[in-house]
Amino acid sequence: MEFPSKLIGDAVTEISRLPGIGKKSALRLVLHLLKQDEVITEALTTSLHRLRTEIHYCERCHNVADDILCSICQSPRRDHSLVCVVEDLPDVLAIENTGQYQGVYHVLGGVISPMEGVGPSDLHVDTLLRRAQASDIPMKEVILALSPTMEGDTTSFYLTKKLRPLGLKVTTIARGVPIGGELEYTDEVTLGRSILTRTEYPDSEE
């Protein structure tokens, strides 16, 4: 694709690096920005720069945050004895959008995948176990809200073996979520019902 300006070409190249955006879509976005007031483009670049330089990750649950703790971990209205374990940030947003969950979260940052070389030490498992053993905020139940894939089930099984000896109730979201599907793409009604009708995670012997 030929561009009338190297500056336009450079902008198209960078925007097309974003997921789901090809060269043609990137070009439309660039041309749209050119037609806007300069202040709009400056506001966009400033917000993106601040996103990369000022964003924090909650030291307790690893969710995105503007401070040491995220707004969910800081909220006195949440049930801090109930912890929902998810793979990554989009899953937090998906569950929050259901409006059915009032506990807190723990973001693993991925799932166990031997084929990809990802083991428990590559995830936020240690901080989850420390939270489970902490006395200042007693944990009673852990909901494993991981995508129902082979990697998700492997991770759920591993976490169950680590958490049950600590005297915790370990549950999993109901299988209204399709097998092999990604949690963040599940519709809100199905995901909300899955949270409400969660079941206890089975042992391997069952």
Give the tens place of pLDDT for each residue, 104-156: 999 999 999 999 999 999 999 999 999 999 888 899 999 999 988 889 989 99
Integer CA distances (angstroms), 50 to 47, 56, 67, 84, in order: 5, 11, 14, 29
CA-nearest of 186, 123, 192, 176 to 154 is: 123
Query: Given this structure, which CATH class describes domain 77-200?
Result: alpha beta
CATH class of 6-54: mainly alpha
Residue 121 sits at φ, ψ, to 5 deg, of: -70, -15
What are residue 64's phi and psi, to 5 degrees?
-70, 145
Q: Where are the domains of the chain?
A: 6-54, 77-200
Give the global pTM.
0.74
Tens of pLDDT, residue by residue over 37-82, are: 999 999 999 999 998 888 899 999 999 999 999 999 999 999 999 9
Domains 6-54 and 77-200 share a fold: no
Question: Rounded CA gap, 9 and 29, in Å?
Answer: 12
DSSP assignment letter at 122: G
pLDDT at res. 204 = 56
